[in-house]
Copies of this chain bind each other. A is one copy, B any other.
Amino acid sequence: MALTRQKIVDTALEILRSYGLADLSMRRLARDLGVQPGALYWHVKNKQELLVVLAERILEPVKVGDAGGDPDGAVRRSAQDLRAALLAVRDGSDVVSLAQALAPESLTPLSGLAALLTESGLSELHAHWGAKSLTHYILGAVAEEQTRAELARSGLLEPGPDSDTDGEEFLFGVNTLLAGLEVHRTR
């Protein structure tokens, strides 16, 4: 059956979900699709482009909803949605971090967060910086969670207290940043 960009991305996402980023090679992907490695390059420029598309797919469920009178609340919810979306795919935060490094524009959530922060009374500049700070924090925090998960999976780490203090810690960081931004509010 005809190879399509869609099928390539879908299969790549499957490999990611089931085996993680380390197993997502172009050759492995081709094998799973029953095709020669070179065939992929007709539909996809290179592996980097593929990773950017995967990152977009991972973030798709997240809509940085509009404020509705409570911009801080909207930021909190968006941050938690982002965390959930990243955690839903193995190595999700690594893929998104890579993609953001490769194609800084293409990932939407950043501009959404900036808009919310502007709405909360920050200048354009501070809103932009604040959104970037939040993004760095979110990606770093979730990356650490997922790294622990990978280590636990490979038996190199005792499973640890599986309770959701991670969620609490994550929210602490988000709230800390929001509280710190408070200071710069005009309104």
A interface residues with partner B (beta carbon < 8 Å): 97, 100-101, 104, 126, 129-130, 132-133, 135-137, 139-141, 143-144, 147, 169, 172-173, 175-183
* Copies of this chain, count: 2
Q: Across the two chains, which residue of chain B brings its CB closest to A173?
A: B133
Q: Can you report 16 residue pairs joining A to B where beta carbons are below 8 Å apart? A: A100-B144, A101-B144, A101-B147, A104-B144, A126-B172, A129-B172, A129-B173, A133-B137, A135-B140, A136-B173, A140-B140, A176-B180, A177-B180, A179-B182, A179-B183, A180-B181
Q: A136, B144: Cβ atoms under 8 Å? A: yes
Chain B residue numbers with a CB within 8 Å of A133 are 137, 141, 172-173, 176-177
